[in-house]
Amino acid sequence: MSYQNLLLEQPESGIHLLTVNRPKALNALNAATLEELQRAVAAVAADPAARVLLVTGSGERAFVAGADIAEMCGFSAAQAQAFSERGMRVMSALEALPVPVIALVNGYALGGGCELALACDWIIAAEGAVFGQPEVNLGIPPGFGGTQRLARIVGRARALELVTTARQLPAAEARAIGLVNEVVAASALRERGIEVARTIACKGPQAVRLAKQAVHRGLDQNLAGGCAFETAAFALAFATSDQREGMHAFLEKRVAKFSGG
């Protein structure tokens, strides 16, 4: 499958690396790029050998600097709604991907770029990365889920502060408020992402997928409902060959060889 605005590669077995590749536009998200992102995420979802997806931007300046303002400038309200809905579908598809998705933020992650990172399961950032939802500077609110995912991660008051002031956060502050999991040197970002992905890829694939489902679905329910879903996931794992292999390997004091079955 070919892409004009993306690169989709496999640096190692089971590990997919998706790069937004519009460096001249600081990797801004236009309609064509959003359409390609949806296709790329669907391709990873359809790969039974997929274990982790890493998402990053090309070049050194930007992860994704935002949505493409030049394209949006002349939108009617109807066109703006269609564009927002397209972006929302991409972010939802990323969030719903069965395998963990890690954003490797290598520079500016603003507006739609911050929303793209928020739709990933967690974020590893380069030391020079910058985060923000500056849409109010343009006379619009966020449109790809920023008001919702940001509030769920950093809390309502902090999210409202960031969205209404358009304040940009350096990587260290983003980590301090829980937006970012880890900050590393820019030169080490890709390798660190692959290292984390490699750690996940050697675990029981079915267990990892069930754990991701339980976390995401549980957060949309009360505690009792979330725990009930976890019990169902726990029981379902006992119908897999991965469970048998993992437990036998533990008892036999050897490394498990998971098949994903």
Q: Which residues of the chain have pLDDT under 50?
A: none
Final residue of a structural domain among 177, 201, 225: 201
Question: Looking at the domain assignment, is residue 117 inside a domain?
Answer: yes
Short-list 87, 78, 183, 186, CA closest to 135: 87
Q: Which pLDDT score is estimated for 238? A: 96
Is 98 in a helix, a strand, or coil?
coil
Identify whether residues 115 and 240 lie together within a single domain: no
Is 130 in a helix, a strand, or coil?
strand
Identify whether residues 146 and 243 lie together within a single domain: no
Question: Which member of 115, 161, 195, 230 is catalytic?
Answer: 115
Final residue of a structural domain among 165, 181, 201: 201
Number of domains comprising the chain: 2
For 154, the token pair is: 């950093």
Catalytic status, residue 135: yes
Question: Which member of 71, 135, 161, 230 is catalytic?
Answer: 135
CATH of the domain at 228: 1.10.12.10
Identify whether residues 182 and 139 lie together within a single domain: yes
**How far is residue 149's CA from residue 224's CA, in Å, rounded to a whole number?**
23
Identify whether residues 163 and 118 lie together within a single domain: yes
Catalytic status, residue 115: yes
Identify whether residues 155 and 184 lie together within a single domain: yes
Question: Looking at the domain assignment, is residue 256 inside a domain?
Answer: no
Check: pTM over 0.85? Answer yes or no.
yes
**How far is residue 232's CA from residue 218's CA, in Å, rounded to a whole number?**
12
CATH of the domain at 44: 3.90.226.10
Q: Which pLDDT score is estimated for 261? A: 79
Identify whether residues 36 and 90 lie together within a single domain: yes
Identify whether residues 224 and 240 lie together within a single domain: yes
Domain around 221: 205-251
Identify whether residues 125 and 227 lie together within a single domain: no
Q: Which pLDDT score is estimated for 220? A: 87
Q: Which residues pair with 9 in a beta bridge?
A: 17
DSSP assigned state of 29? B
Where residue 168 falls (left for φ over 0; alpha for ψ -120 to 50; beta otherwise) is beta
Q: Which pLDDT score is estimated for 43? A: 97
Question: Looking at the domain assignment, is residue 137 inside a domain?
Answer: yes
132 phi, psi to nearest 5 deg? 175, 160
